[in-house]
Amino acid sequence: MTPPYESRFAIRTLAIVDTGFTDVKGLAVLPINCNEVIVYNDTGTDILLRSDPSNSASEVTVAAGQYFPIGTPQKEGGFRFPQNCPPVCALKSTSGALTIIVESLN
């Protein structure tokens, strides 16, 4: 029997730029129903994370080499972030074009 890859977690990359915020959403980035999303910044450049891309008061800096978890490890009665949910957050590079890692966990 083939193991059920990506039934509990999935890892994807996401391209971001310094000219605008990129939404973390869609099956290409979050391919499974999940309760927690972790943004990993292994780029060597700080990135900006906002819960609302149009609100600078909702911003946190994810420093180079750090990660930022969003959500909870488990939610009763469903998933906090079901497939095709609204954007979980928005990301922006502080310098140039980058590719970051996004992990979704259920």
pLDDT by position in tens, the chain (length 106): 556 888 889 999 999 999 999 999 999 999 999 999 999 999 999 999 999 999 999 999 999 999 999 997 666 778 999 999 999 999 999 999 999 999 999 8
pTM of the shown model: 0.91
Phi then psi dihedrals of residue 52, to 5 deg: -140, 110
Task: Tell me the β-bridge partners of 70.
Answer: 37
Q: What local confidence, expressed as pLDDT, does residue 12 receive?
A: 97
Residues 5, 9, 10, CA angle at the centre, nearest 5°? Answer: 80
Phi then psi dihedrals of residue 101, to 5 deg: -110, 135
Domains and CATH numbers, the chain: 9-105 (2.60.120)
